[in-house]
Amino acid sequence: MEEHSAKWIIRGNELLDETAATSIRGYLSMLYDHLDKDDQRPVVPLSHGDPSAFACFRTSPEAVDAIVHAVQSAEFNSYAPTIGILPARRYLLRVLFQCLLYIRY
């Protein structure tokens, strides 16, 4: 049996190398560079890690009060039933049924 070693010649894909070298922040910068500078609408940076920095993402006082009440009542200090909460299941069923009415087979 003849012994020999084969050399593999593997060439990298330059486009993939460039893509791998670009960070998420780099892609965001490219997107911002392509925005229409004359468009006066505000751009909400959805990549921002802390939504509380933007007034439009603040939690409503009603939601805060509901959470505080739920925690203080000690009625909801457990996992939800594995089959789900009945009002949520009914709501999802209604939404899914409405969506199915629009699907054409």
The pLDDT tens digits for 12-65 are 777 777 766 677 777 778 888 888 889 888 877 766 667 677 777 778 899 999
Do 44 and 54 meet the contact criterion of CB atoms below 8 Å apart? yes
Q: Provide the pLDDT for residue 22.
A: 73
Question: Can you tell me the mean pLDDT for 89-103?
Answer: 83
Do 18 and 26 meet the contact criterion of CB atoms below 8 Å apart? no
Q: Provide the pLDDT for residue 72.
A: 93
CA dihedral for 20, 22, 25, 30, sign (positive or negative): negative
Q: Provide the pLDDT for residue 76.
A: 81
User: Side chain identity at 30, as an amino acid letter?
Assistant: M
Q: Does pLDDT of 105 surpass 60?
A: no
Question: Can you tell me the mean pLDDT for 65-70?
Answer: 93
d(Cα 24, Cα 47) in Å, to the nearest integer? 9
Cα angle 89, 94, 96; round to 5: 90
